[in-house]
Amino acid sequence: MDLIEDFAFRLPVTVICDMLGIPEEHRETFYTGSRDSGRILEPVPLSPEEIKQGNARTKMSEMYFQQLFELRRKQPGDDLTTQLVQAEEDGHKLSNEELTANIILLFGAGHETTVNLIGNGLLALHRNPDQLALLKANPGLITNAIEEFLRYDSSVQMTGRAALEDIDLCGKRIPKGEAVLCLLGSANHDPAVYPDHPERLDIARPNVKPLSFGGGIHFCLGAQLARIEAEIAISTLLRRLPDLRLDDAENPQWRPTFVLRGLRRLPASW
């Protein structure tokens, strides 16, 4: 199978569909949909064709979720969409535009990076057979292993911030309002923080504190969900398919992206 399309992709999509109350009979479109939505985050211009395709996908998403809002107004459920539709503060409810923006964000953020975390983690394990053997022998290491996967090969390599005031950082003057690009993947390999071979995968590494989920008020809302999904996915796969092997661990097919780092395909056999 392809560990990305057949495994890493389907689990987070199923979970976020459940959380948003998307009916099962509607989900095939989401399972087979494009994974290029994260392209808009890249620090390079989009081509006219990419803009056209992106706008078309967004319009289709808007149309679907507008219908979902109406469904949940008539048939409330135990899901986030129902809660957002019913949310009210001081007599004001969210507009359809606000609902759509939030739901599309939740759907994309709720699966895209988790797919990469599972895929990147599985690739890292199979490229480091000693660590794979260690995890199989000590399944209880999975929680720390997920933190190490986040550090070792972060699903999000870069994020942006704006300086709220003039600041001096390592001798560099950053004026108020200036945009700053933070290289999370680089920070996760900082030898000042990880003096014991930061370029090495070590699922038993102590005090792993990856910056992959950001920080402060921008800390990822779904961090714990992503951790749990990856923990269950990887530990279950290793238990259920102990003889699983990657067809070509040394030449994986990466997606041509920089901000979101993930694999296009990861063929495996057992």
Per DSSP, the residues of 28-51 read HHHHSS-S-GGGGGSSSPPPHHHH
How far is residue 126's CA from residue 148's CA, in Å, rounded to a whole number? 14
* Domain CATH number, residue 106: 1.10.630.10
pLDDT tens readout for residues 78-108: 999 999 999 887 788 888 889 999 898 888 8
CB 253 within 8 A of CB 264: yes
Cite the beta strand spans of the chain per DSSP E: 88-89, 92-93, 158-162, 167-169, 172-174, 179-183, 245-246, 253-254, 263-265, 268-269
More confident of the two residues 160 and 208: 208
CB 17 within 8 A of CB 11: no
The dihedral sign for the CA sequence 170, 173, 176, 182:
negative
Phi, psi of 246 (to 5 degrees): -80, 140
93 DSSP β-pair partners: 88
> In the prediction, which pLDDT does 32 show?
78
Number of Cβ within 10 Å of residue 217's Cβ equals 5
Number of separate domains in the chain: 1
Domain range enclosing 25 = 3-269
> Tokens standing for 183?
């290289």
The bridge status of strand 263-265 relative to strand 92-93 is: unpaired
Q: Is the pLDDT of residue 53 over 90?
A: no
pTM for the structure as a whole: 0.91
How far is residue 37's CA from residue 201's CA, in Å, rounded to a whole number? 30
Give me the amino acid identity at 176: K
- Straight-line distance from the first to the last Cα atom of the chain, in angstroms, rounded to the nearest whole number: 9
pLDDT tens readout for residues 120-171: 999 999 999 999 999 999 999 999 999 999 999 999 999 988 999 999 988 9
Instruction: With CA atoms as reference, report the closest residue to 17 among 116, 115, 106.
Output: 106
Provide, for the chain, the percentages of residues in helix, strand and coil under a 3-state DSSP scheme, each rounded to the nearest 5.
50, 10, 35
pLDDT confidence band for 201 (50 / 70 / 90)? very high
> In the prediction, which pLDDT does 54 show?
83
Give me the amino acid identity at 207: N
Q: Is the pLDDT of residue 37 over 70?
A: no
The bridge status of strand 253-254 relative to strand 172-174 is: unpaired
Cite the beta strand spans of 47-178 per DSSP E: 88-89, 92-93, 158-162, 167-169, 172-174
Instruction: With CA atoms as reference, report the closest residue to 130 among 120, 143, 145, 119.
Output: 145
Write the CB contacts of 89 (distance below 8 Å, at least 6 apart in sequence).
Answer: none
Cite the beta strand spans of 91-178 per DSSP E: 92-93, 158-162, 167-169, 172-174
How far is residue 197's CA from residue 201's CA, in Å, rounded to a whole number? 9
> In the prediction, which pLDDT does 232 show?
97
